[in-house]
Amino acid sequence: MSRRKLSRFRHNAEAGNVIERGKELYTTIKGKWNEVYFKNKNPLVLELACGKGEYTVGLGSRLPERNFIGIDIKGDRIARGSARAGELALKNVAFLRTGIQFLDEFFEENEVSEIWLVHPDPQPRDKEEKRRLTNTRFLNLYKTYLKDGGIFHLKTDSRFLFDYSLEVMKSDPEFEILDATTDLYNSPLMEGHFEIVTHYERFFTERGATINYLKARLHKKK
């Protein structure tokens, strides 16, 4: 393992805004994010597969009335978002190191108000469908801890994943598609992204890629 990675792992172990295995909150935080960590009643917003946490930090710095949690399994990526949040003294930002499939271990039913999924791996091959983060299994997982009326965002450079996700969500009677575009940068919807651009996104748009985006609201069955 490189010295840089080791340094980032040490950062995570010492950082108060990173929750990971070995820390007390890792096994006790479920259902208590507002009470124990943020110590307020503000809405919880998740960035799934957050990578370096560009949206977690970007939205957190612009929307202090909400609490943001970036989630990723890669500790070296989370460390960069954690460090940036520390530099900005953001008290409404946290990072959780875990796999997306284990989120029910950290969030209670109806605990989350909003979810962002930004440039996830599209997993385009048929045999990879079970790993797509917008397949039916994952959407049903999100619906458990997303509140009635909660919002789900998908932003992706993959037209394949966008079309797939739109189709899956349209077939789910509990999701209402509010907005969808295959060219976010030339859409009025871009305003809601506060000019936040990930490193990955910048790389591909500079090479001519367009960005797809959809926004949906959850209406839970009574």
Residue range 33-47: mean pLDDT, rounded:
98
Cite the active site residues.
121
Closest CA to 157 of 88, 203, 91, 104: 203
Residue range 214-222: mean pLDDT, rounded:
94
Checking 99-105 for CB contacts under 8 A at 24+ apart, the result is 99/73, 100/48, 100/49, 100/71, 100/133, 100/138, 100/141, 101/138, 101/141, 103/71, 103/141, 103/142, 103/145, 104/141, 104/144, 104/145, 105/30
What are the CA-CA distances from residue 94 to residues 37, 70, 132 (Å)?
9, 6, 25
What are the CA-CA distances from residue 11 to residues 29, 95, 99 (Å)?
21, 12, 20
CATH of segment(s) 3-218:
3.40.50.150
In sequence order, the β-bridge partners of residue 212 are: 156
Q: Is the pLDDT of residue 180 over 90?
A: yes
pLDDT tens digits for range 128-171:
999 999 999 999 999 999 999 999 999 999 999 999 999 999 99
Phi and psi dihedrals of 213, rounded to 5?
A: -150, 140
pLDDT of residue 83: 97
Closest CA to 214 of 149, 167, 174: 167
Q: Which two tokens stand for residue 73?
A: 């399994």
Closest CA to 213 of 152, 154, 134: 154
What are the CA-CA distances from residue 152 to residues 45, 75, 118, 134, 135 (Å)?
10, 25, 11, 10, 14
Domain residue extents for the chain: 3-218
Which is it for strands 93-97 and 175-181: parallel, antiparallel or unpaired? unpaired
* Residue 14, burial from CB neighbour count under 10 angstroms (0-12, 13-18, 19+): exposed
Alpha helices in the chain (DSSP H): 3-14, 25-28, 54-62, 75-87, 136-145, 159-170, 199-205
Q: For residue 1, name the pLDDT band (cuts at 50, 70, 90).
A: low
pTM of the model: 0.95
